[in-house]
Chain A
């Protein structure tokens, strides 16, 4: 072992394969994408990319489809994130009150849906939601209800959000439960001795101590929700009337159906800017003061 603090170039022999991959397929593409967003590059036109300055961004601001996709994305995030993180917290608190084998059994059950690949989950929920021979309407038929789960513009996005709640609840539950288990029991015991009821212990001891973990879960959930794609691609293809076409689906279609690489890169950088700004805002709001 070399003394600490002495630079050791040989260490890079170990790190090199990973760092080369990281530079080529993460750091490089991020910068490359930024550069692309200032170019016009129609891949099928067999012309080299041309620098166009801010033209792509100007086009995006005047593009009604982009605004519509952005609106759909915000609607999705506003529906899916609070309910997913909120319910995950409730479930984690419930699980934390249980012990031993039963706790791990239930925890595993909540995690199972996250292991289902999106095409399988999509096939399944399309069948659930089908208005004619779907499972949900078959179960609701005795009540005389026939819901337009995916065919009505007002219903489609909530239906996607409900499916997403089922599909993504497990991850936050597991992380929040681990966070709850890290809270030292003496803190809660001391609060109980001081006469704090369960509700007050939750508000004044548990939640403040859980804050860093809750922040981590929320930021990751928001980042994930803004990039919603697979659910929509599999279940509604963006319809009806594009009310569920999200920004990532629009980027996907711009790049791989229309082959407008520069414009697609600009759109994904605009989405990145929104995600980054909201992540910073969450850190500011929720950080320990």
Chain B
């Protein structure tokens, strides 16, 4: 490598690294600052806490009457797991039918479902609220779990993946007398673990971080999910930055840990949906 192009590549990497640092720094600040006492947050003197303390965490966890944060955590876990299980089940079955079997009217139905990915979510807000109201599901976890099952994104992702699986194994299983459901469960699903894992992580993180849905469809404070609980909390404990930051840490940690463990799957999944057409 010539001297000039080496300098150039060092400069490129320095710029990329500086940008990456700017992205991560605010997240790191949540964690670092949650260890400061309130006085140090309000009068910023240094990045690191001068007298680090877990007081904010203790206070937020020891006050379940006023701040039911563990309750919100539990609600979030229940709803996000429910959504993930439902999405994986219904979209994988449907995607298999469209990728491998031959439902009549396949093309138009497929076009409608995939086209729906372009529909802006805000258009669904009012009608979905009224439908959930008729069903009596408002202010229950069902309001957030059942509609989320209609994931056109999940259907599309798995459909594209199933198309790429070689047919030989399925044909061999069919000759051995395996039923279609048997082929799906015993042959196709085990081969689809990476795609299913990607979809599971996406769906879980999307549901965990969903804000508008729980804000509109839930009413009672003890049924809130973490993000909406935090928003409410911020309005009443506006000046207590230590508490809000400690709550933010508890809300962020699970998704961040899942990301660190499954990083490769998540990023490949995003790339996949952006590239296949």
Contact = CB atoms under 8 A, between A and B. Distances in A.
A4 to B, nearest CB: 7
A226 interface: yes
Interface majority SS (helix, strand, loop, mixed), chain A:
helix
B2 interface: no
A238 interface: no
B60 to A, nearest CB: 13
A28 B248 CA distance: 36
Contact of B123 (A118, A126, A268): A268
A269 interface: yes
A7 B102 contact: yes
A110 B20 contact: yes
Contact of B124 (A6, A26, A230, A234): A26
Interface in B247-271: 248, 251-252, 255-256, 259, 263-264, 266-267, 270-271
B191 interface: no
B227 A119 contact: yes
A271 interface: yes
Contact of A18 (B30, B43, B93, B146): B93
Interface stretch (A64-72, A74-82, A143-151, A163-171): A163-171
Contacts of B89: 17
A57 interface: no
Interface in B99-147: 101-104, 109, 112-113, 116, 118-131, 146-147
B19 A33 contact: no
Nearest to B154: A18
B187 to A, nearest CB: 12
A271 B120 contact: yes
B252 A116 contact: yes
Interface of B: 9, 12-13, 15-17, 19-24, 26-27, 29-30, 41-44, 89-91, 93-94, 96-98, 101-104, 109, 112-113, 116, 118-131, 146-147, 149-150, 152, 155, 167, 170-171, 174, 180, 184, 205, 208-209, 211-212, 215-216, 226-228, 230-231, 234, 241, 244-245, 248, 251-252, 255-256, 259, 263-264, 266-267, 270-271, 274-275, 277
29 contacts: A1-B174, A7-B102, A12-B103, A15-B97, A17-B89, A19-B94, A21-B90, A25-B149, A26-B116, A28-B127, A29-B127, A33-B123, A94-B19, A97-B9, A104-B264, A109-B20, A112-B24, A112-B27, A115-B209, A115-B256, A115-B259, A117-B252, A117-B255, A119-B230, A119-B231, A124-B26, A175-B274, A177-B271, A268-B123
